[in-house]
Amino acid sequence: MLVTRAPGWDRFSAYFFDWALYRDSLPEIADAFLINVRIFVVAEAIILVTALGLAILRGLPGPVFFPVRALAIVYADFFRGVPTILVILMLGVGMPALQLEGVPDSQIFWATVSLVLVYTAYVSEVYRAGIESVHRSQDAAARSLGLTRFQSLRYVVVPQAVRRVIPPLLNDFIGLQKDTALVSVLGVVEVLNNAQIIEAATFNGTPYLVAATLFVALTIPLARFTDWLVARDRRRREAAGVAT
């Protein structure tokens, strides 16, 4: 009621809610959105593996692995501290400018690499929290049965840790899906850039609403899936508590 009664509501609604333009621009913007989806899927698949590896390296015990742990900490701290858009600009503009032989010059490639570097740092911390949440007695029991440190991690610790951190992992990937729009700063004609092009041609902001709708249409199912996983895990823990 407050918004629709504002003095500038007529201009606002005319600029953002032109339903004829919404209908006409939807197919073109949806095609551009496929670029965002591809970047998201490729980056997510790589991050799931690299982040787990980084979390395991950071948890290696003993003084002999101190340099490895230190490098893992520096990596996580650095890429969590630098804004994602700066990493995308530095790699997306800088790497093609070097003109190194054998190095890809695709801006989409370097945008994907940038997202992988940044989100690997975030997701590794989620994995690390999951690994540390597994009681040390689990590892001790596995080692007493003759398993090596690596086998204990692979068969006992990591499977339990991953099950515990699935909901926060999905939350991070929802953020990753939205951050694919940052590749627009490189001039890649993805969903946001396409919306900007149509807005510049029509002097109307409705294409931004189209882009927002596509992101929401992908994000809401992921969010509800996360809620379902959290509820299922809660039911399992409650059932286990009753059984004991």
Residue 26 burial by CB count (10 A; 0-12/13-18/19+): exposed, middle or buried?
middle
Per the domain annotation, does 118 fall within a domain? Answer: yes
Per the domain annotation, does 4 fall within a domain? Answer: no
Whether 241 shows a pLDDT value over 70: the answer reads no
Per the domain annotation, does 219 fall within a domain? Answer: yes
pLDDT tens digits, one per residue of 84-135 = 999 999 999 888 888 888 888 888 999 999 999 999 999 999 999 888 888 8
Per the domain annotation, does 3 fall within a domain? Answer: no
Per the domain annotation, does 129 fall within a domain? Answer: yes
Q: Give me the number of domains the chain comprises.
A: 1
Per the domain annotation, does 180 fall within a domain? Answer: yes
Q: Which residues of 212-239 are buried (b: 16+ CB within 10 A; e: fewer)?
A: eebbeebeeeeeeebeeeeeeeeeeeee
Name the pLDDT band for 176 (thresholds 50, 70, 90).
very high
Q: Which amino acid is at 133?
A: S
Spatial distance between the Cα atoms of 86 and 100, rounded to a whole number of angstroms: 21
Per the domain annotation, does 2 fall within a domain? Answer: no
CATH number of 191's domain: 1.10.3720.10
Parent domain of 94:
9-243
pLDDT tens digits, one per residue of 206-227 = 999 999 999 999 888 888 887 8
Using an 8 Å Cβ cutoff, are 177 and 215 in contact? Answer: yes
